[in-house]
Chains A and B, each alone.
Chain A
Amino acid sequence: QVQLVESGGGVVQPRTSLRLSCVASGITLSNHGIHWVRQAPGKGLEWVALMSPDESKTYYADSVKGRFSVSRDNSKNTAYVQMNGLTTEDTAVYYCASTGLREDDSLDLWGPGTMVTVSS
């Protein structure tokens, strides 16, 4: 079964860090770009970051640049987003999604998401 599954969410305090994982099954992650997209409670989708298939290019939304970092471990078929300096504004469901070889390709396959709550 082709799927992505995120994990690592939880309740954390402001100014702390968290790392989310995105495990792929049925697809080889190294052949795909990986997006991270988030959705605050009751709000719309917000794009967060993109890593190209060969890891040579990474792109970040202005709201997370300098605080979030994406990476992957091809041996584990897993992508990560390291989130530092979390604020209450980062509270959201975080989705990973696979994409093609081009930056403008669509987000084809989405995981179910993992909830991150930043609260004191």
Chain B
Amino acid sequence: SYVLTQPPSVSVAPGRTARITCVGNNIEDKGVHWYQQKPGQAPLLVMYYDSDRPSEIPERFSGSNSGDTATLTISRVEAGDEADYYCQVWDGDSGHHVFGSGTKVTVL
């Protein structure tokens, strides 16, 4: 089955840039979606199809996908960005959706 690998944690100072990676075999051939989950809350879609941003998500959030790595980038990080972030793809070969293991973003 298709596997997505994320770093367990990323720490970043306020105002700096956080980059969260999601590694999968030839992931560039798939549409990658990203979700933000704060404690006690349901996930929230923050990026879809690699680099499209829902209208309610700040422009500070951007995405890319190349080779085996998709990346969610958060510019000018704020305290409110502290959360768990998950990548997700559809694996057509297995007929399964797959989530990455999640990355906890800590704002120092």
Identify the A interface with B (CB < 8 A). 35, 37, 44-47, 50, 59, 61-62, 95, 97, 103-108, 110-113
Contacts of B90 in A (CB 8 A): 103-104
Task: Give the A-B contact count at a CB cut-off of 8 A.
Answer: 61
Q: Chain A interface mostly helix, strand, loop or mixed?
A: loop
Q: A110–B89 contact, CB under 8 A?
A: no
The answer to whether B48 touches A106 (Cβ under 8 A) is: yes
Identify which of B30, B45, B95, B96 contacts A106 (C-beta below 8 A): B45
B44–A47 CB distance below 8 A: no
Interface magnitude class on chain B: 20 to 34
Checking A45, A61, A62 against B43 with a beta-carbon cut-off of 8 angstroms, the contacting residue is A45
Report whether A95 and B92 are in contact in the complex, using a CB–CB cutoff of 8 Å. no
Q: How near does chain B come to A48, taking the closest CB pair, in angstroms?
A: 9
Q: What's the least CB distance linking B94 to chain A, in Å?
A: 9
Contact present for A47 and B95 (CB under 8 Å): no
Q: Judging by beta carbons under 8 Å apart, are B42 and A95 in contact? A: yes
**Among candidates A46, A59, A111, residue contacting B42 with C-beta atoms closer than 8 Å:** A111
- For residues 8 through 57 of chain B, which have their beta carbon under 8 Å from a beta carbon of chain A? 30-31, 33, 35, 37, 41-45, 48-49, 54
The answer to whether A113 touches B42 (Cβ under 8 A) is: yes
Give A104 to B97 CA distance when docked, in angstroms.
8
